[in-house]
Structure 1
Amino acid sequence: MSDSSTPVPTAELLAEGLHDWVLAERWLHARFATPDYVSGLALVVAIGDAAESAEHHPDVTLRHGHVEVHLRSHDVGDLTRRDLRLAHRITELAAEHGAEARPASVRLQSLALDASDLAAVGRFWSAAYTGSPDHVDGNDVIDPDTHELLLWLQPTGPHAEPRQRFHVDLWVAPEAAPDRIAAILDAGGTLVSDAEAPSFTVLADPEGNKLCICTCLDRRP
C-alpha cells in the first residue's frame, strides 16, 4: 500500500514537527496571519500552485488578516504522507510571504449528541443536514461534498429525555488548551471532569450546559 493511501498514525503526526498546524478529528488545520489582504491573496495563489504540483488539494479560506488551510486526503478519509509533505511546503510558503502561523488561534467546533440507537438517530440527522439519510459513517454524520464532520453521535444507554443531550466539542491546539480552560473557569465555568485530559476536559457553564475542550493528544493511533 502506498504512502498516499495509508493513514499516518497519530504518534507519527505528532513527531513530524508540524508546529504551525493543529491536528483535530484527523485533519490538519492552520491559520496564518497576513500583513494585508493582497499578501493573503498571494499566499493563496502560491498554495494553489503547490497543490497543483502535488496533485493534492487542501481547503483554503482567505479572510481579511489571515489565511486558513485544512488538509486531509479526501479519497482516503484520513491523513496520509501527502498531507504531511504539503503541510511542510505550505509552512515554507507562508514564511516566504511574510505570514505568521497562529496555531493557538485555531479552533474547531463539533456538535455531539447522546444517542442509544445510532442508526436511527444518524439517519434522521443525516437527512436534516444533507437531504439524504445515507451520509452516516459509524458514529459520524458526514458532509458528502467536503467530508467534514457535521455531527458526532455519542453512544449512550436508553434513558429518559434529559434537559440536554447535545454538547459542544471545541478543538484547540494542545498548547492552547490550558489557557483556554483557565479563561473558561475565570469566566464562571465549572470543571466537571479532567479524567480524560489532555484528550478532552469537560466543563459546564453557570446553568450546567456542557463543553468539552478537546486536543489531539492521547487519542487513537
Structure 2
Amino acid sequence: MDMLGNREILREIASGLGDWRKLAQPIATRYRVGGIASAAAFVAAVAEVPVAVGQDPEIRLGRGFVDVALSTVDGRTGGRWVTPDDLELARAISGIARAQGLIAVPGEVAQLELALDTADDKLVGPFWSALLTGEPGHVVEDTVLDPSNRVPNLWFQRTERHETPRQRWHLDLWLAPEVAEERIAAAVAAGGTVVDASKAPSFTVVADLDGNRVCICTALDRE
C-alpha cells in the first residue's frame, strides 16, 4: 500500500484539495445540502465514481449536511491510511460537489478518539477490542479500530506503571487547523485552562475546572 505521510497530504490539500482536512486517519469534508433529496443526489453521484479495493468512502447524512471521510483499509493489518487513490477520489468528489452547487465547510469536520494510558497495551488491547467491537483482534499497532466505525477509535498511550488514582483516560479531539485556536479559546472562556501548548499546533492540552485533560489535535507539524 502506498501510504502518504501528513506532510504530503497537507501539501495536496494546500494545492487544490481545499474542501478537505486531514484528521487522525482519514481526510474528511462536509458539504451543505438543501435537504434529503439533494443529499441523495450527491451520494448517488459519488457512488458512481470507481474506488480501489478497501477504499469505500464513509458517508454520513445529517440535517443540512453530508460528511465524507476517505481512507484505504490495509487488508492485511486492518490499518487505515490515506493513499494517492484517496486523493484522486477526493478530487472527483469535490468536482461533483461543485457541479451540484454544494458548498464545502471543511472547518466543521471533527474526529473524536479515546486515549488510555497503559504500561502494557498488548495485555489490555484484546479486552478493549472485544468490548468495543465484539472481537479481540481489531487492534492495529497501538489502536483499537472498529471496522464499521460504530465507536470512536481507542489508542493506547504508553506510560510507566504507576499507582492509582491518576487520570488514565483522555479525549483526543481532531479538528480542522483553522478552527483549533477558536475551540481552545471557547473552552478557556468556559472555565478551562491551557495546560501545555508546547506541541501546538500538533496538539494542545487543555483541562476543565476539575483538572480533567483533553488534547485538541490537528494534522499540522506531523510527519
SS of equivalent residue, structure 2 residue 48 = helix
Which one of 145, 163, 172 corresponds to residue 169 of structure 1? Answer: 172
Amino acid at match of 2:9: L
For 1:175 and 1:32, locate their aligned partners in 2 and report how far apart those are by CA, in whole Å.
Answer: 17
For 1:35 and 1:146, locate their aligned partners in 2 and report how far apart those are by CA, in whole Å.
Answer: 26
Which one of 2, 7, 12 corresponds to residue 6 of structure 1? Answer: 2
Does residue 1:132 correspond to 2:131, yes or no? no
The count of residues paired between Structure 1 and Structure 2 equals 214
Amino acid at match of 1:15: R
For 2:93 and 2:220, locate their aligned partners in 1 and report how far apart those are by CA, in whole Å.
Answer: 23
Within-5 A mapping of 1:1-221: 5-16=1-12, 17=15, 18-50=17-49, 53-55=50-52, 56-75=55-74, 77-146=80-149, 150-220=153-223
Judged with a 3 Å threshold, the aligned counterparts in structure 2 of structure 1 residues 146 and 187 are, in CA distance, closer, same or farther, namely closer
SS of equivalent residue, structure 1 residue 95 = helix
Deviations 1:168-217 (A, max 9, x none): 10000011111111111111110000011111000001111111100001
1:54, CA displacement in angstroms? Answer: 3.8
Deviations 1:37-73 (A, max 9, x none): 21111111111111xx344421111222000101011
Unpaired runs of at least 5, structure 1: none
- CA RMSD in angstroms comes to 1.7
Judged with a 3 Å threshold, the aligned counterparts in structure 2 of structure 1 residues 81 and 156 are, in CA distance, closer, same or farther, namely same
Deviations 1:111-135 (A, max 9, x none): 0000011111112111211222222
Unpaired runs of at least 5, structure 2: none
1:32, CA displacement in angstroms? Answer: 0.6
SS of equivalent residue, structure 1 residue 15 = helix
Judged with a 3 Å threshold, the aligned counterparts in structure 2 of structure 1 residues 22 and 148 are, in CA distance, closer, same or farther, namely farther
For 2:62 and 2:204, locate their aligned partners in 1 and report how far apart those are by CA, in whole Å.
Answer: 30
For 1:134 and 1:44, locate their aligned partners in 2 and report how far apart those are by CA, in whole Å.
Answer: 32
For 1:153 and 1:21, locate their aligned partners in 2 and report how far apart those are by CA, in whole Å.
Answer: 27
TM-score between the two structures when normalised by the length of structure 2? 0.90
For 2:41 and 2:167, locate their aligned partners in 1 and report how far apart those are by CA, in whole Å.
Answer: 45
Amino acid at match of 2:185: A
